[in-house]
Amino acid sequence: MIIKIDATEQERKAAKAAHELFTINAILIHVIGGLGLIKLLNTSMDIAIGLTIVISAMLIIYTYFRTKKAKANDPYLVYLHWQLSLNRYKILIAAYIFYFLITSLGLLIGDGGVSSMDGTSITGSIMTLLGTVPLFFAVLISAVLGSGSMFNAGRGEIDQTFAQKHPQ
């Protein structure tokens, strides 16, 4: 059940900031940044995904410390939305771990010297794509969740069970 918390316009804008950062991470960093690295700078898919994950990790760390600061200093609505944004990163983190496990598995399996016509490892390419698909879906889900939460934050709304689970 969604509850509405009385908040000023400024507090609602501050609450939206957490989800704006989350959505920027999902769309600009992962989708546009990843494609830009691959197409414009001609980097490999592994390097592009690795760089986007590193940048995303920095934003996750920032969100973690900003949430701790919000708990101590900001209004309750702002804190709740920073906490919600931090919790939503679990989806991306799980996809990162899966991606790294699958690509590492590709390195362990090896390919016995078999490579494609362009010289890349067939096993490595398959494992990279196998790890990338769940990561792509996690990014899309994150973008949808972030935009919906941005709407709720702008209206001063939060899930009641989430608010009960995270007192200030």
CA 168/CA 137 separation, integer angstroms: 33
Any residues with CB less than 8 A from the CB of 65 and at least 6 apart, and which? Answer: none
Any residues with CB less than 8 A from the CB of 38 and at least 6 apart, and which? Answer: 44, 45, 48
Average pLDDT over residues 54-72: 97
Half-sphere exposure of 66 (CA within 13 A, CB side): 22
Q: What is the pLDDT of residue 111?
A: 66
Q: What is the pLDDT of residue 127?
A: 86
Identity at 70, one-letter amino acid code:
A
Average pLDDT over residues 75-96: 96
Angstrom CA distances, 101 to 51, 74, 88, 119, stand at 17, 38, 21, 23
The H or E element spanning position 116 is none
% of the chain residues with pLDDT over 70: 93
Determine how many CB atoms are found less than 10 A away from the CB of residue 123.
Answer: 18
For the chain, the average pLDDT equals 91
Q: What is the pLDDT of residue 114?
A: 63
Write the DSSP symbol of residue 158: E
Instruction: Tell me the pairing of strands 157-159 and 2-4.
Output: antiparallel
Question: Per residue in 100-131, pLDDT tens?
Answer: 999 888 878 866 666 666 666 777 778 888 99
**Beta partners for residue 47, in sequence order:** none
% of the chain residues with pLDDT over 90: 79
Question: Per residue in 37-57, pLDDT tens?
Answer: 999 999 988 899 999 999 999
